[in-house]
Amino acid sequence: MKIGIDAIAFDVAKIHLPIKTLANARNIEPEKLEKGLGLLKMTLPDTHQDTVVFGANALTRLIIDNNIGLEEISRIYVGTESAIDSSKPISSFLVSLMEQKFGENSLSECDVVDFTFACIGGVDAMQNCIDFVTLNPSKKAIVVTTDFAKYDLNSTGEYTQGAGAIALLIASNPKIIAFENYWATSTKGVFDFFKPFRTISKQEISGSEINEPWFDNLESEIEIHKDQPVFDGQYSNQCYMDRTREAYFLFKKLKNSRKTIYNSWESIIMHLPYAFQGRRMLSEIYALDAENSIISGNETSEQYQNKLKEISKSEAYKNFVTEKLQPAEIASSIIGNLYTGSIFMGLLSTLAHFYDNKIDVSSKKFGFLAYGSGSKSKVFEGTIQSEWKSAVTNINLFDTLEKSTEIDFETYEKLHKKEQKQSIREPKSEWILERIENQIPNLIGARYYKWID
């Protein structure tokens, strides 16, 4: 029995800042970002949008575009690192909104939960749903990945921001891709990128040693939530390479293969914090698993790094990137980082590229190299099914992305600082965050959403 992705839908923030505009404002040479990292635009949430909105929009489109009866769905699992509540999962919001639109209690028997492990949480959710459908082939599950990658102003991560969601229907006999039952994992607990609970003492703010209650906060410390992470870019890149390399060669061991695994993949789909991250990280695996070994293993650390740089600049590697990695980079360049959704947007970008160029990839294998900071990598593969073209015909990925509204730098900074109160682009045929309760004691902080026709 084949199990995999039967349908896919997406929702991406509809406003963007050109990378060139950001580069000029930050005194960065635009070519460094555009040609060096592959960045062209970064998408940003409008004032009426959050991760629930993106997830609900993608899920609604998945249901409507594929005529899915909600009674068919046994679970909706969400991958995110942009939760808006420390207790109530985004998935519970999604169930409520779907019932609001499609009928009360229509998902009352549906299991829901959120998965959090940085950018790999969506893959974890999908693997769990695949296992579920494998055991219950008559049932279906949905995976939603939804995130807002937000970084501090003037930080080295600022130009990689992005926002949006992907929704996947997991079923037996899928139309798009069926996954093999080989999942290689490499995990190590590190601090390469994380979002800690931050605190500041009342004394630091007021200068007073007296702990007075502030807005019902009786503690002497104020807890501060920030969407922006603490990260070490260079260390995070190394963790990405280490975990992915370890998972890749474990995958090769699981398959008991002596051949070069990546040669069997038509396309390689990787987590892309920025468009060219994959090609920068993969050169080591490319060298180590080459049929004629490019690296001996006897080099000094400096010699090893110099050889990797040499390999990454070679014509052979550039051709490899163009053939196997570039299709997944196209959407990333004009969206930015989607965290948990990044790897699935890479899949959609690749399929849309092949569809638009009338290239049939039926029966071809795709390799997936997923990564989440903290840190964990999973390597797996799937085979494209014969009906994949009919399943992506009406998605219109690139046409939709072209309709994004450009904003100026001043508007961008106001949005980032939450000083912008009015929507930049009027919502239409989508969910919006209507209000956040601030009066009723038992509901303070509750978020309410509505559908706009």
Instruction: Give which of 70, 126, 65 is closest to 98, Cα–Cα.
Output: 70
345 and 419 together in one domain: yes
103 and 79 together in one domain: yes
Domain boundary among 169, 202, 224: 224
Q: How far apart are CA 428 and CA 126, in angstroms?
A: 30
Task: Give percent of the chain with pLDDT exceeding 90.
Answer: 91
What is the number of domains present in the chain?
2
Contact 436, 447 (CB under 8 A): yes
Instruction: Give which of 1, 4, 36 is closest to 347, Cα–Cα.
Output: 4
- Output the pLDDT for position 298: 74
Residue 420 confidence class, pLDDT cut points 50, 70, 90:
very high
CATH number where 315 lies? 3.40.47.10
Instruction: Give which of 282, 280, 284, 253 is closest to 268, Cα–Cα.
Output: 282
Residue 297 confidence class, pLDDT cut points 50, 70, 90:
low
- Least confident range of 197-211, 359-373, 387-401: 197-211
36 and 129 together in one domain: yes
| Average pLDDT score over residue span 421-431 | 97
Q: How far apart are CA 110 and CA 98, in angstroms?
A: 12
Q: How far apart are CA 67 and CA 109, in angstroms?
A: 19
61 and 199 together in one domain: no
Strand partners, 268: 367
346 and 410 together in one domain: yes
pTM summary value = 0.96
Asked whether the predicted pLDDT for residue 170 surpasses 70, the reply is yes
Pairing of strands 267-270, 447-452: unpaired
For residue 367, the enclosing domain spans 3-192+232-452
Contact 433, 49 (CB under 8 A): yes
Residue with tokens 């999604």: 94
198 and 300 together in one domain: no
217 and 334 together in one domain: no
Instruction: Give which of 372, 380, 417 is closest to 80, Cα–Cα.
Output: 372
| Average pLDDT score over residue span 294-322 | 86
Task: Identify the three-state secondary structure at position 32.
Answer: helix
Distance set, CA 16 to CA 42, 46, 150, 275 (Å): 5, 10, 13, 16
Asked whether the predicted pLDDT for residue 296 surpasses 70, the reply is no
Which tokens go with 193?
């990128």
Domain boundary among 179, 202, 224: 224
Mean pLDDT, rounded, of the chain = 96
pLDDT digits (tens, 9 = 90+) for 28-40: 999 999 999 999 9
- Least confident range of 227-236, 262-271, 300-309: 300-309
Distance set, CA 233 to CA 33, 160, 277 (Å): 15, 12, 12
212 and 81 together in one domain: no
Contact 351, 359 (CB under 8 A): no
Q: What secondary structure letter does DSSP report for 194? A: E
Task: Identify the three-state secondary structure at position 235.
Answer: helix
Residue 8 confidence class, pLDDT cut points 50, 70, 90:
very high
- Output the pLDDT for position 209: 87
At 149, phi and psi to the nearest 5? -85, 100
What number of residues does the chain have? 453
97 and 148 together in one domain: yes
116: left (phi over 0), alpha (psi -120 to 50) or beta: beta
Residue with tokens 């502030």: 214
209 and 90 together in one domain: no
Question: Angle of helix 342-356 relative to helix 326-335, nearest 10 degrees?
Answer: 120
Domain boundary among 174, 204, 224: 224
Q: What secondary structure letter does DSSP report for 200? A: E
73 and 121 together in one domain: yes
Asked whether the predicted pLDDT for residue 235 surpasses 80, the reply is yes
Instruction: Give which of 431, 342, 399 is closest to 119, Cα–Cα.
Output: 342
pLDDT digits (tens, 9 = 90+) for 66-83: 999 999 999 999 999 999
126 and 218 together in one domain: no
Bigger pLDDT: 213 vs 16? 16
Pairing of strands 405-406, 15-18: parallel
The upper half-sphere exposure of residue 85, i.e. CA atoms within 13 Å in the direction of its Cβ, equals: 15
